Structure 1
């Protein structure tokens, strides 16, 4: 498998645009996102037609290298998009793009946003050009004269130029409060990616060598095979590809849309991931039949896992400026948007057995939201790192678990198969 990294000196430089350009032009390629981000990966998946993956040793644990090796048994190319700037981590351990690129030996393209730069672009880039750097993509130039000035500094210092992307409003990928808009909201994302690819010189591909990875078989799990329903629409779409892969190996996956009021039929587990329920709160509140069904399933003991946006939806009320909206009420609290970002990795002590964990475990995840929850319900986990709900997380009722923390089910989902089998009996 040939692997191409994409990084930059800072966030907002155009890494995703370049990554999508590569994915649109490389056959049998897979999108890999450094860090816990779902959105960039979902865009990559929409372009490549393949499930996206993450590379993150905090959420995946020691298993992160084995998982990456497994990709080489399935794909010919992996496009690995970095997180933030190349050396940024801000974590208790080094989780920077540079760490993974060096650890695995990934050759990379450096993307430079030159919209406010000329000759200085090279001198900024210089600190990010290591021996595995393939070359640079000059992004966001305003005119041919501007490009010539920027290009000359790189050429004079022998830095290969892989691509040159002009400034164009129609090429921008729209953003909102949690990052780029999701693939489901951009039906033209593949067309945008193909457009980006016209500005890339792909001749460097022929010079790439396969990274010596040892393919590993992903062994099938011994399963009871229940019906696992995953909420998937514009309100709920933050899922790790490998979490869904794991669930597909312990049961039969079905997708349903809460926004359409679709009700899971004969579920043995329901998974409500993160997303943007706050943007669709009124529509979700109107789906009284679905909301009643979810509450009934919870009361019956159906295993339900809800993360971040999913947790918000399972609370009793959503407080907006205009009104108080009724949600399913599996948990008894209220949700309000704060306008303040909570973002970072989490580490939690498990205080009480729940759907995923046993008391005494220390578990790792991440949180990413602009909301607060007030809920006096008993919490099964305490934050060592991260905010949660006033320093605690893991609300639990019957077999329903809700948390602000997102977790990797490939790492932590083994108890689920037992819970599903037990419920089916």
Structure 2
């Protein structure tokens, strides 16, 4: 049973403490021991989960205490952990960072799932101070189950021994790993964080070798057996009543084309699974490589890095023409972030301009700041996303901005968040909606049902 699945949560003292690389190494080490491991990521990141999914062979699921009700967090965990030997949850930022108090924090998820916490400390240039830091984190919220510490970026054996001795003496928690400072522990980065796995495998020489090396370093530095023991000591969770993952017929007979390749790969597995549970068929296609859209009833273009693949996307004239014809037929389209950029007239990035689909009356360019934020608001008009007045929650994650024509219609009025322009998001033309907002089926329950309904209504207009 998923309720009894051994589990551990890897938290950090701050961003860039090394959680993601340590989790990647831990997952790989567990797979090497024959474990079926279910990965999770706190908050709504896409990129870290791409590594965890690739390493484990199981789709990493996101858990967010702000965007999701507690019941939804438990259900997502329970559903994904079914038949797994162990679950590993990666935290976000510092353990206690949240939207408002505990809300949206790693600590909230740790308590909600009764997960033992292994705390990663960036120990560069500190020894005894590590003990004070760990004790402070433990005392801040005694309900968080601190079960172990991993010291990261350690310079020497003497450094490790001194920090370990003081932590175990003063904080009373065992050190279950020491990772030495090593340049091989770094993965390729860019303006939104790590390079996604699909791109890393195709564009970065030695990518798989680097991940294998990370496993070696982590496995050599941690007490894997003790971490497994800690995970097996997790309290059983109460039974969950299904609410999200229920079969229905909303999308029966509908085929949804999902743009999925090295340019577009920011998707939540739950969104696609909800389409499948509704009876729809998810049909992957590649805007980079395919010459035309597949035979589908709707198009879903998620986020990614179209700015990196702008030349390839622009030169694929067949796909751009196919999109234009689909829009002329008023085929329902929903695009998020990178998809919004792709549907615009052009992408201007690092001194180069490339023409795009031209369906959205605007152009994309590099913004002055990176935008990472929760968003919430309401649908301002009827659209494939739903009916006017419906509340919507999601998040933004981009380093671009859209320069839009005036006088356009927008589907979403934001109460929090930036959106495309002046608090408006979801530029809307006919059955096309393109937004910066990313939505998850547990944060906006209207998706994908409303979108599938729009696709079916166009398929059978008399119904």
Range of TM-score over shorter length:
over 0.9
Shift of 1:75: 2.3
Counterpart in the other structure of 1:180: 194
1:133 matched to 2:146? The reply is yes
CA distance in 2, matches of 1:380, 1:409: 18
If the length of structure 2 is used for normalisation, what is the TM-score? 0.87
CA distance in 2, matches of 1:31, 1:193: 17
Cα deviation digits, residues 25-46 of structure 1 (max 9, x gap): 0512111111111111111101
Counterpart in the other structure of 1:392: 424
Q: 1:198 to 1:184 in 2, by over 3 A?
A: farther
1:16 matched to 2:20? The reply is yes
Determine if contact 1:273/1:306 at 8 Å carries over to the other structure.
yes
Backbone CA RMSD of aligned residues:
2.0
1:380 matched to 2:408? The reply is no
Q: 1:400 to 1:92 in 2, by over 3 A?
A: farther
Counterpart in the other structure of 2:272: 244
Determine if contact 2:285/2:294 at 8 Å carries over to the other structure.
no
Cα deviation digits, residues 176-221 of structure 1 (max 9, x gap): 1111111123341652453223322122323523532425563322
Which structure 2 residue ranges, 5 or more long, are not aligned? 202-207
Counterpart in the other structure of 2:357: 328
Pick aligned residue for 1:84 from 93, 114, 127: 93
Pick aligned residue for 2:300 from 268, 271, 296: 271
Shift of 1:392: 0.2
Shift of 1:54: 0.6
Counterpart in the other structure of 2:204: none
CA distance in 1, matches of 2:341, 2:413: 18
Cα deviation digits, residues 141-174 of structure 1 (max 9, x gap): 1222222222221232332111111111112122
CA distance in 1, matches of 2:238, 2:294: 42
Shift of 1:269: 1.7
Cα deviation digits, residues 1-36 of structure 1 (max 9, x gap): 112101011010011122223322051211111111
Determine if contact 2:61/2:76 at 8 Å carries over to the other structure.
no
Pick aligned residue for 1:144 from 157, 169, 191: 157
Determine if contact 2:65/2:108 at 8 Å carries over to the other structure.
no
Which structure 1 residue ranges, 5 or more long, are not aligned? none
CA distance in 2, matches of 1:402, 1:360: 18
Alignment of 1:239-388 (within 5 A): 239-249=267-277, 250-320=279-349, 322-375=351-404, 376=406, 377-388=408-419
Counterpart in the other structure of 1:198: 220
If the length of structure 1 is used for normalisation, what is the TM-score? 0.94
SS at match of 2:299: strand
1:155 matched to 2:168? The reply is yes
CA distance in 2, matches of 1:91, 1:228: 37
Shift of 1:323: 4.4
1:102 matched to 2:124? The reply is no
**Structure 1 moving runs of 4+ over 6 Å:** none
Counterpart in the other structure of 2:450: 415
SS at match of 1:225: coil
Larger mean CA deviation between 380-389 and 218-227 belongs to 218-227
SS at match of 1:89: coil
SS at match of 1:60: coil
1:123 matched to 2:136? The reply is no
Pick aligned residue for 2:433 from 401, 406, 418: 401
1:111 matched to 2:136? The reply is no
